[in-house]
Structure 1
Amino acid sequence: MNPRERRVARHQPQDRAAAATRAPRRRAVPITVEQVVDTALDLVAADGYEALTMRRVAAALDTGPASLYAHVVNKADLDELLIGRLCAGLALPEPDPAAWRDRVRDVCRQVRDQYLRYPGISRAALAMAPTDLSALRVSEGLLALLLAGGVAPRAAAWAADALLLYVAAYCLELSVVRQRAGQDDTVWVRDREELRGRLAALSAADFPHTTRHAAELTAGEPHERFDFTLGLMIDGLARR
């Protein structure tokens, strides 16, 4: 079975008993897909997603890039495996019409916390068609929660996509902010007080609302703003 065939097989339910009795194929290099994913996640945790390349994964495994392609089709396939691994670690709550809003928030927070463990990795989730079974399990779980809350099917489907998109974008932005904080040549605003002062010092004639509400514009911790935005989205669905 070549890497593309294995990729297709990963996206389909398998007969585990049959898979267990299937004779393993001999490989010249004792590398598994799980080892590739583990190594890639370690690299992202240490150096960020932007530093992740197939060549670096191969070097960390003490092999050549060609050996990886016996197990992973390409970088996009590796991205899907990484997101699938993170999704597999989520605990999805059961649908409950009385508590659907809190449970949707819980899933989104879990996804957020998984992404933030690996700086920038949510970039891999953007524009990704959900075909990995673990990722599909998350979208299925969100859809079930929204439907249990009485959200219409199409609105629920679009909302599940929008919620996951917001979580990925939020985590990516936060990762970029944290990365830039350690680079003196890219930091133009050192802290919130400096930003508030800059906004308040603008021309009141040109920016009347910005100068008047500089404190509000810069208030709140990132996760507070995250929860606020989730609330806007979820409450908006409830009112539809």
Structure 2
Amino acid sequence: MPADHAQRGRAARHAQPPAASEPSAPQPAPRKRAPITLERITDAALHVIAAEGYDALTVRRITHVLGTGPSSLYAHIVNKDDIDDLVIGRLCAQVVLPEPDPALWRSQVRDVCGQLRDQFLAYPGVSRAALAMLPTNLETLRVNEGLLAILLAGGVEPQTAAWAIDGLFLYVSAYAVERSLVEQRQKRADHAWVLGRDELVSRFEALPADRFPHIRGHAAELTAGSGHDRFDFALGLIVDNLPGHASRA
């Protein structure tokens, strides 16, 4: 048996090698999957919100967009609240802050709030993530710092300025939530009860005059406004009544 084994080995060593085949075309190296980063997680989260609304934002949905598993995300985040923080931080990063001008401080506050509103409205329902959020993200803090600088330059007392910023963020967030809810309902076939202005005026004017004399008599005023007229009005109630320096706007 040992001799036979040796012979087979020797024969194998002396055997003619097989004819060389034609060289095959070089195969491309497999593409490496991009690493999971906070930037990619934020991008995926905003993609989900823009396409499906804030209610669709979950860790599982983000992992599907990224083509990975939950463990890959949890190497970077603690929970869903972390994703909310990243998203709001990214949107705040898009806000351009002016150099505080004591003569224009009221209009500067309005401009910053308008920018924040537009960022929130671009992603339906996302401002819900901003409600009750502690501003610890550096980009969110950057907007707070900018508003505080503007208000202080305008002569607003520090405590008043601090609470004003809180009220401004709450109003901007709530306004964006309401707009996104109305737009969402208008897209659904089972929410045909969302009324246009003409229909709403007609209903108000048809109310019993003895019970609703003021609503009936001022139906046009109660339903007036287009675009962001109501936002600008309510924002003005806050900003214009802050005690500070007189300004040109």
For normalisation by structure 2, the TM-score amounts to 0.83
User: Aligned AA for 1:54?
Assistant: V
Residue 63 of structure 2 is matched in structure 1 by 58
Could you tell me how far 1:222 is from its partner in structure 2?
A: 4.1
The answer to whether the aligner puts 1:178 opposite 2:177 as a matched pair is: no
Q: Distance in 2 between matches of 1:79 and 1:125?
A: 8
Unaligned stretches of 5+ residues in structure 2: 1-32
1:8-49, Cα deviation, whole Å (9 max, x unpaired): xxxxxxxxxxxxxxxxxxxx9821110010011011011111
Identity of aligned residues (%): 62
Query: 2:209–2:216: 8 Å Cα contact kept in structure 1?
Result: yes
Q: Distance in 1 between matches of 2:133 and 2:196?
A: 34
1:132-165, Cα deviation, whole Å (9 max, x unpaired): 1100110111111111111111111000110111
Query: 1:29–1:67: 8 Å Cα contact kept in structure 2?
Result: no
Greater Rg by CA: 2
The answer to whether the aligner puts 1:85 opposite 2:90 as a matched pair is: yes
User: Aligned AA for 2:238?
Assistant: M
User: Aligned AA for 2:48?
Assistant: L
Equivalent position to 1:71, from 76, 89, 108: 76
Unaligned stretches of 5+ residues in structure 1: 1-27
Q: Structure with the greater relative contact order (CA < 8 A, sep ≥ 6): 1 or 2?
A: 2
Query: 1:45–1:119: 8 Å Cα contact kept in structure 2?
Result: yes
Could you tell me how far 1:90 is from its partner in structure 2?
A: 1.0
1:69-117, Cα deviation, whole Å (9 max, x unpaired): 1111110010000000111111101111100001000000000011111
Residue 18 of structure 2 is matched in structure 1 by none
Moved more, 179-188 or 114-123: 179-188
Could you tell me how far 1:239 is from its partner in structure 2?
A: 7.0
Could you tell me how far 1:190 is from its partner in structure 2?
A: 2.8
RMSD of Structure 2 on Structure 1 (CA): 1.5
* Number of residue-to-residue matches in the alignment: 213
Higher helix proportion (structure 1 or 2): 1
| CA distance 1:239–1:95, change in 2 (3 Å) | closer
Q: Distance in 1 between matches of 2:105 and 2:171?
A: 19
Equivalent position to 1:224, from 221, 229, 234: 229
